[in-house]
Amino acid sequence: METAMTNARHLPQTGWRRWIGDASGAFGDLGVFLPLMIGLLIVGAYDASGLLVSFGIFAIATGLIYRRPVPVQPMKVIAALAITGAMTAADVMASGIVIGVVLLVLGLTGLVSRFQRLTPRTILLGVQIGLGAQLILKSADLAGDDLWFGALLLLALMVFQLAINRVGACLVLTGGAVIWGMATGSAALPETPFALHWPNVDFPGIAAFWRAAETGVLPQLALTITNAILLTVAISGDYFPQDRNRISARNLALSSGGLNLLLAPLGAVPMCHGAGGLAAQYGQGARTGLAPVIFGSVCIAFGVMAGPHALAWLLLVPMPVIAALLAYAGCQLLNVQRLGHLRPACLTIIAATAVTSVLVNVVAGLAIGCLAEFLRSRLLRRREALQPARGQ
């Protein structure tokens, strides 16, 4: 798989451009991060300091371990269930512990690496395209009545990148929108007193583990293994082929599992990596682990200083900006080249996987893709078996 972003001739690689690229790319995944974080804080049952500080620790650790812009995102299934009230804060904490243990087991036993070897490239391409389409559709929902404005911001983001080699586009867009909102009176700086807020350490009861296992752990694990591990490994291998041994399925499972297990008692929502975030950060110019370190440091500082007032600060970012950033991540995932060189049977599998991922979910798309690949392989073996007979 090769995307247009892999051509790095016009992207910042050294000097001040690399630093600005990492700073801009650090915030390229806000389209996924902000809606989920705002939703969790609006519920009111979650400690803002615990959420932000733990997120920051996870991001910094990821940057130091992989030394590339490997993203950190809230686990979407668990976050969605928490936002809708289907899971309590204790259930969310328990799910992080359970998922952390499972990912550690998958990494230590090598099962996740075996699953990676058995997953055909066509299925991952289908999941990638389906995920890109999902992000674009979700961005339209976020924009709401301001859809035209969000589309205009997306266009401006892309044009801005082309104009200055993709350096600083995300920073300019986000910062400019916040400043414009305050200048026009549509937004104002929250009047919150300065104070230090530290996360509360807690541990869920046994009942929470049962509820977590029954409600969200299994569907989240399927999505995490597919999107946060296998697809992230595939895309990072295209962006950073020299780091394939370090950014591997086994290592991503171990880092996600260990950090979730460690941070869950701080009140963290379960976290993982993500293909969409990687595409967005890379597209915004991030090339090194400095990007997640910057983002993690901001999250920690924000969580400690803002604490319970964090929601008011996060709401300063206009929703059309969030929608534009989310749509940009989707466009990056859709930018897949060399599909024209694949056989019609492979294209059919990719299309079936992508469409099912959009219409149902990624797990269903993965299942349909595996079924289609199985049928294709059986048909190929049957044809090969018939060829000698025809020759006789």
Angle formed by the axes of helices 89-109 and 76-83, to 10°? 170
CA 59/CA 71 separation, integer angstroms: 7
pLDDT along the chain (392 residues), means of 10: 40 64 86 88 86 95 95 89 87 94 95 87 86 87 85 83 62 81 74 78 88 84 88 91 93 96 92 88 89 95 88 87 87 73 81 88 83 83 68 52
Distances from the Cα of 289 to the Cα of 68, 131, 186, angstroms: 4, 24, 36
Contact of 143 with 326, CB cutoff 8 Å: no
Cβ of 15: how many Cβ atoms within 10 Å? Answer: 8
CA 55/CA 254 separation, integer angstroms: 17
Structure tokens at 68: 């590339």
Amino acid 140 reads A
* φ/ψ of residue 3, rounded to 5: -115, 165
Three-state secondary structure along 290-321?
A: HHHHHHHHHHHHHHHHHHHHHHHHHCCCCHHH
Distances from the Cα of 110 to the Cα of 146, 259, 359, angstroms: 47, 18, 32
Cβ of 85: how many Cβ atoms within 10 Å? Answer: 9
The predicted structure's pLDDT at residue 20: 82
* φ/ψ of residue 74, rounded to 5: -65, 145
Angle formed by the axes of helices 30-43 and 319-334, to 10°? 130
Indicate yes or no: pTM above 0.85. Answer: no
Contact of 236 with 70, CB cutoff 8 Å: yes
The predicted structure's pLDDT at residue 16: 65
